[in-house]
Structure 1
Amino acid sequence: MRGGLERRLLEGWRRRGVLAWVLWPVSLVYWALLTFKGALYRFGVLKSERLAVPVIVVGNVIVGGAGKTPATLAIAEHLRESGWRPGIISRGYGRRTVDYREVTPADDPLDAGDEALLLRRRTGVPVFVAARRAQAGKALLATYPSVNVLICDDGLQHLALARDVEVCVFDARGVGNGWLLPAGPLREPWPRPIDFVLHAPDALVSSPPAQSFSVRRTLAANAVRADGTQVSLAGLRGKSITALAGIAQPEAFFSMLRAEGLTLARSIALPDHDDFDDLPTLPDAKNPLVCTEKDAAKLWRHRPDALAVPLTLHVPGAFFDELSAKLSSGA
């Protein structure tokens, strides 16, 4: 039920239809609360906590999975290759634990958070999660004092953490109908001051005065099982595939699979961050079962043969040049 409601809202937020107009008065209340909260920080009633190293916040102003985690991955990998020693902090959304903790590759995704676990496994850099991102950052720096830059996965609206660079990510939806929650998909008014915008090529985004860069998402050439064995996507063409996704926009994943020439006999859409404890009936293990990389750790508990397909974000080198220059100049 929750997944169906999410999808209906996402669809309704694409335009200013009847549902949006009905919810528009409520969005004015949301706007008032946002304005009041911002004023508390602006006038010093509430304080933003600054950490000992530069902080890059990667997030989105639109709900429903705009691609912040692939952007965080790309930034972390670039910084590491450029000689920086990055760490990643996150809320660890969807985890059942409430403490702050380091994420390890062997963690249960229900304890660490599926996105945080993906970031740890893919990048190999230290990852800490906590409800308060500043607490996660301080714990990470105390454990790994050589880390000299932190990337916060999500948190543009988490004003309790001071930041040096803000990166906002948009997918093909752009700003949707341009209205605030719940009448539209925006978590905060847009445009607003920001350093960088990464957007899908066909996204309609007004982003002055930020530097804006078009990015492209593709599926990796190979999928991987729980034991590390790989299977090429090309080798799955002509077979009857079942695809499963527990992300904000599962149809985007299914469409990318079809674009690779795969035949989806069945597609299973689950709510974002679903715990996978109540899975629908899955096909026999002899038939290919494909999932997103974020979902893999949870699905592999039930089906280690499932094939996880990584997502690659192609980011222009000019963005990384500008980001490095900003960090080197002290942001």
Structure 2
Amino acid sequence: MWQSWFERQWQYKGWAQCLLLPLSWLFAGLAALRRALYRWRLFASSRLPVPVIVIGNISVGGVGKTPLVIHLAQALRAAGYSPGIISRGYGGRQTGAVSPESAPELYGDEPVLIAQRSASPVWVHALRAVAGRALLQAHPETDVLICDDGLQHYALQRDIEIAVVNRPHGLGNGRLLPAGPLREPLKRLQTVDLLVESGQLPAAESQVPTAEKQAPAFQQSLQLGQWTSLSDSSRHISLAALQARPLVAIAGIAHPQRFFQTIQALGLNCETKVFADHHAYTQADFADLSAKTILMTEKDAVKCRHLALSDAWFLPVTAELKPLGHSQTFADCVISLLKQREGNKK
């Protein structure tokens, strides 16, 4: 309840946010002090023997990092690299290697989804440097690490920073926690290497902060796949077949309305049922849905595959990135930065 209240308040600048401003100033001061302590090397920060690419964001909540992590891992592999992926494993309670068959309740739903789609080794640990070292020891062929989230995890040194920005919801009122959704001020975007816009683009060029213009920017969109059976991934169903059935869409993600709007745009009319982000599904969650065809996200499907749901379908998505104001592809930009960083070390 409180989370929903805060998320609504973060979109406005009113009396409630003003009351929280002193706490935001305190949060800003502590965050700045923490960054300074790492910069002054009073807090330990580890450098790994291979380049590290961090994909993160400056706000709380989902912004579309997971499809981008998968996209980058596949692109690097296609370019001849051997990427590995490290993650905190949010929502899980176990550390270590993640396989496509791993239990999401133990390792987190997003790491398991990444392991299924990326064809790269995945390792989870709250301390990303520990995860990186363990992955490199188990997979010595790995020559680049992608860190899923962790833009504020300064205990791990990084070679490339990619910030994902989701407008307008992700930036909200532009204030720091708890008066707004930001974990770091907007000027933090001035220091990243690449910027990925996963939501609405600014209505006019003048609305783009000068800081953001300094990093090459891309617009991320999601290419929809085929509706796929939860019980048999080789089975698919057409939109026409779904339109003839009683439907219910479920979502246990950060912003469920995005999924529901996608379904509506496809011409499907259905009931909706919202669960908390990272919800651990049980058979009881579907007890009253047995007479309906169930639609869900791929992230939800990872957590529901152990349930005997014979008429449930998920929609896989693939990230597509369009350059904004330049012609270089996302993969080429990252590879160019990798080569530049490698050249600087010699």
1:276 matches 2:287: no
Structure-2 separation of matches of 1:18 and 1:313: 39
Amino acid in structure 2 at the alignment position of 1:310: P
C-alpha deviation, 1:213, in angstroms:
1.2
Cα deviations across residues 261-295 of structure 1 (Å, max 9, x unaligned)? 1111x211111111224854544445210111111
C-alpha deviation, 1:179, in angstroms:
0.3
Q: Are residues 279 and 314 of structure 1, via their aligned partners in 2, closer, same or farther at CA, if it must alter by over 3 Å?
A: farther
Q: Are residues 163 and 108 of structure 1, via their aligned partners in 2, closer, same or farther at CA, if it must alter by over 3 Å?
A: same
Cα deviations across residues 56-102 of structure 1 (Å, max 9, x unaligned)? 000111111001111101111111111111110000000022xx300
Structure-1 separation of matches of 2:244 and 2:18: 45
Computed over aligned residues only, the root mean square deviation of the Cα atoms, in angstroms, reads: 1.8
* % identity of equivalent residues: 39
1:217–1:313 contact (8 Å) kept in structure 2: yes
Aligned to 1:214: 219
C-alpha deviation, 1:21, in angstroms:
1.7
C-alpha deviation, 1:260, in angstroms:
1.1
Q: 1:12 aligns with which of 9, 12, 22?
A: 9
1:120 matches 2:115: yes
Structure-1 separation of matches of 2:87 and 2:222: 22
The within-5 A match list for 1:77-96 is 77-96=74-93
TM-score (norm 2): 0.89
- Helix, strand or coil: the match of 2:187? coil
The within-5 A match list for 1:36-185 is 36-97=33-94, 100-173=95-168, 175-185=171-181
Cα deviations across residues 94-151 of structure 1 (Å, max 9, x unaligned)? 0022xx3000111110111100000000112100000100111000000100011110
Structure-2 separation of matches of 1:234 and 1:215: 28
C-alpha deviation, 1:14, in angstroms:
1.5
Cα deviations across residues 153-199 of structure 1 (Å, max 9, x unaligned)? 00000000100001111223252111001110101111221001100
C-alpha deviation, 1:49, in angstroms:
0.5
Structure-1 separation of matches of 2:195 and 2:240: 33
Structure-1 separation of matches of 2:151 and 2:87: 12
Gaps of 5+ in 1: none
2:283–2:307 contact (8 Å) kept in structure 1: no
Structure-1 separation of matches of 2:230 and 2:260: 19
- Helix, strand or coil: the match of 1:198? strand
- Helix, strand or coil: the match of 1:168? strand
Q: 1:199 aligns with which of 197, 208, 211?
A: 197
Q: Are residues 244 and 5 of structure 1, via their aligned partners in 2, closer, same or farther at CA, if it must alter by over 3 Å?
A: farther
Q: 2:237 aligns with which of 227, 231, 235?
A: 231
Gaps of 5+ in 2: 203-207, 323-327
Structure-2 separation of matches of 1:176 and 1:116: 27
2:74–2:119 contact (8 Å) kept in structure 1: no
1:223–1:233 contact (8 Å) kept in structure 2: no
1:238–1:262 contact (8 Å) kept in structure 2: no
Amino acid in structure 2 at the alignment position of 1:69: T
1:320 matches 2:322: no
Amino acid in structure 1 at the alignment position of 2:110: E
Q: Are residues 222 and 321 of structure 1, via their aligned partners in 2, closer, same or farther at CA, if it must alter by over 3 Å?
A: same
Aligned length: 325
TM-score (norm 1): 0.92
Aligned to 1:330: 341
Q: 2:182 aligns with which of 182, 186, 191?
A: 186
- Helix, strand or coil: the match of 1:141? helix
Q: Are residues 326 and 21 of structure 1, via their aligned partners in 2, closer, same or farther at CA, if it must alter by over 3 Å?
A: same
Moved more, 253-262 or 11-20: 11-20
Q: Are residues 170 and 278 of structure 1, via their aligned partners in 2, closer, same or farther at CA, if it must alter by over 3 Å?
A: farther
Aligned to 1:299: 304
Q: Are residues 140 and 178 of structure 1, via their aligned partners in 2, closer, same or farther at CA, if it must alter by over 3 Å?
A: same
Amino acid in structure 2 at the alignment position of 1:237: Q
Cα deviations across residues 271-322 of structure 1 (Å, max 9, x unaligned)? 1111224854544445210111111122233343321211222113622211
Moved more, 225-234 or 40-49: 225-234
- Helix, strand or coil: the match of 1:297? helix
Q: Are residues 107 and 142 of structure 1, via their aligned partners in 2, closer, same or farther at CA, if it must alter by over 3 Å?
A: same
